[in-house]
Copies of this chain bind each other. A is one copy, B any other.
Amino acid sequence: MRALSTADLNPAILKVEYAVRGELAIKAEEYRKRLALGGEHGLPFDKIISSNIGNPQQKGLDQPPITFMRQGSDSDQVAALCEWPALAELAPNAFPKDVVARAKELHEEIGSVGAYSHSQGVPLIRQSVAKFIEERDGYPANPDHIFLTAGASAGVSLLISMLITPPDSGILIPIPQYPLYTATLAQHHGVPLPYHLDEASGWSTSLHEIEQTLEHPDHAEIKPKALVIINPGNPTGALLDEETQEKLVRLCEKHNLVLLADEVYQANLHRPDEHPFVSFKQVVARMKSPIPLVSFHSISKGVSGECGRRGGYFETVNFPDDILALIYKMVSVGLCPPLSGQIGVDCVVRPPKPGDESYPLWKQETDTIHAALASRTKTMSDRLNALPGISCVNSPGALYLYPKVHLSDRAIEAARAVGKEPDAFYAMNLLDETGICVVPGSGFGQKEGHWHYRLTCLCPGVDDYVDALEQFHRRFIAKYGAAEE
């Protein structure tokens, strides 16, 4: 028989690109293995720092899990407490009262975490989510319009797969964007309709840009189905102002677009007085707009950073019941979201309140994480901006910086000579020399001739870390020359 080859596969699969865990991340993994072997590794660094992915609890980073999450969200600890009374008797003081109560409440609703739950998510937890949304926005939320998911990605992928009718459906996506969107569109034969964010004004979103994309002759045959907004931005960290949000809602009304609001970084605000987060749900409700809205949230970001549990949710607004029934049918094929992720959602949307035994520690831990993230983000952007040939927007939100690197013609030629995008070449050299893994801007999209990279603000020991970035950049410029500004 013939051996299986890529020619036997769906060509759409070949088109999928996801740089966050692409070539550089794979090479970083190889370096990590080499270092783990110990002995003479012949590398100019002794550890890998994965700044390519917002993974707060990864080894070597300085963000510990929130104690309340781990106590309250520990489904199996609940099981342990219920199944082995001996344990509770032996360790009566190991858990705060509110944690034991929460665990008991969840266990009574869920039963065994080894059982499938309702495909849409445990009803009690969807009620907690609805209450969280109501308190956040001041408008009602319906648990039956909320779907718990295995992280936000699973929800985004599902909604895009449902909205795309090959071959002529398009979805408006920001550039730069989180590559989940282009990857999912490629997989489902959808057409990305890119609109550029404005770096000069802190990566702001321009209605004019979006209208231009819609009117572009290249898109004449494409039916636009949805508008993707990432707020706070990824990779940009930008936050939308309410006036722009209202205009975007009107634009969706005008063009019959579903608004896909990726709001997973809503709790990662570094300067909330200056740049607050306002949910699209609140804006749509206040405007009484009829636009179909899907808001995605996750337990992987914020201060919980519980990535490995795979938990999140999406809320649908202005979706008719027959489409909700179709979404239910689609999620039921996958049976249910992971229970440990669902329980994580309950803890994120129902944190301890003042007066609860675990509140003081929770408050202290979360304040510490917020403060550390804000100060690291400022330190990193200040120091990167001070470097020749680098300009960096000081992100008001999310977990990332997206510095622009001005590369010389020599650097660009050197990159092309080895068949790489110039920013990928820069990032590959950074990894090879420092062990720091970032994601080249070409993985998120950028204007012709502009070069960026995305790095997380989750590094350990920020000073040594930025020292390494600086020293590398100066060496790179010494070798390839500075770009003409």
Partner of A335, one of B65, B84, B151, B189: B151
Of the candidate stretches A5-13, A402-410, A469-477, the one touching chain B is: A5-13
Given A90-B93, A338-B308, A341-B338, A163 and B3 contact (CB-CB distance below 8 Å): no
Shortest CB distance A152–B (Å): 10
A329 within 8 A of B: yes
CA distance A177 to B261 in the complex (A): 38
CA distance A112 to B56 in the complex (A): 10
A220 within 8 A of B: no
A236 within 8 A of B: no
Shortest CB distance A30–B (Å): 12
0 or 1 for each of A1-36: is its CB under 8 Å from B? (1 = yes)? 111111011110110101011100100010000000
> Are B326 and A4 within 8 A (Cβ)?
no
Given A8-B225, A16-B333, A256 and B57 contact (CB-CB distance below 8 Å): no
A276 within 8 A of B: no
> Are A70 and B77 within 8 A (Cβ)?
no
A55 within 8 A of B: yes
Query: Which residues of the partner chain B approach A336 to less than 8 Å between Cβ atoms?
Result: 307-308, 310
* Residue among A5, A25, A304, A340 with most chain B CB within 10 A: A340
CA distance A75 to B113 in the complex (A): 13
Of the candidate stretches A180-188, A382-390, A417-425, A439-447, the one touching chain B is: A180-188
Given A29-B118, A116-B58, A117-B308, A326 and B256 contact (CB-CB distance below 8 Å): no
**How many of A's residues come within 8 Å of B, CB to CB?**
109
> Are B310 and A150 within 8 A (Cβ)?
yes
> Are B70 and A1 within 8 A (Cβ)?
no
Chain A 48-85 interface residues, beta-carbon cutoff 8 Å to B: 53, 55-59, 64-65, 67, 69-71, 73-77, 79-80, 83-84
Query: Which residues of the partner chain B approach A164 to less than 8 Å between Cβ atoms?
Result: 10
Query: Which residues of the partner chain B approach A86 to less than 8 Å between Cβ atoms?
Result: 91, 93-94
Query: Which residues of the partner chain B approach A37 to less than 8 Å between Cβ atoms?
Result: none
Query: Which residues of the partner chain B approach A183 to less than 8 Å between Cβ atoms?
Result: 333
A115 within 8 A of B: yes
* Residue among A183, A304, A309 with most chain B CB within 10 A: A309
Of the candidate stretches A209-217, A278-286, A314-322, A351-359, the one touching chain B is: A314-322
Query: Which residues of the partner chain B approach A481 to less than 8 Å between Cβ atoms?
Result: none
CA distance A326 to B115 in the complex (A): 32
> Are B87 and A79 within 8 A (Cβ)?
no
> Are B116 and A150 within 8 A (Cβ)?
no
> Are A79 and B58 within 8 A (Cβ)?
no
Residue of B nearest to A257 (CB): B1
A202 within 8 A of B: no
Shortest CB distance A414–B (Å): 26
0 or 1 for each of A108-120: is its CB under 8 Å from B? (1 = yes)? 0011111111110
Partner of A2, one of B113, B163, B256: B256
CA distance A79 to B57 in the complex (A): 12
Partner of A187, one of B2, B67, B161: B161
> Are B162 and A10 within 8 A (Cβ)?
yes
A330 within 8 A of B: yes
Given A8-B163, A90-B94, A309-B114, A335 and B153 contact (CB-CB distance below 8 Å): yes
Query: Which residues of the partner chain B approach A91 to less than 8 Å between Cβ atoms?
Result: 86-87, 90-91, 94
0 or 1 for each of A293-333: is its CB under 8 Å from B? (1 = yes)? 00000001000111111100000001110110010011011
> Are A305 and B162 within 8 A (Cβ)?
no
CA distance A21 to B325 in the complex (A): 12
Residue of B nearest to A18 (CB): B333
Query: Which residues of the partner chain B approach A254 to less than 8 Å between Cβ atoms?
Result: 1
CA distance A484 to B76 in the complex (A): 54
Shortest CB distance A33–B (Å): 9
A435 within 8 A of B: no
A368 within 8 A of B: no
Given contacts A10-B166, A10-B188, 10 further A-B contacts (CB under 8 A): A3-B290, A3-B320, A10-B163, A16-B330, A56-B114, A58-B111, A65-B112, A117-B308, A153-B333, A309-B340
- 7 cross-chain pairs, A with B, having the tightest CB-CB distances, nearest first: A21-B332, A308-B339, A338-B338, A90-B91, A74-B76, A57-B112, A57-B115
Between A and B, 27 residue pairs with Cβ closer than 8 Å are: A1-B254, A3-B318, A5-B323, A9-B162, A10-B165, A21-B329, A22-B329, A58-B111, A59-B111, A70-B83, A71-B80, A74-B77, A75-B340, A77-B80, A87-B91, A113-B309, A114-B304, A114-B309, A115-B307, A161-B187, A166-B166, A187-B330, A308-B338, A308-B339, A310-B310, A310-B339, A338-B338
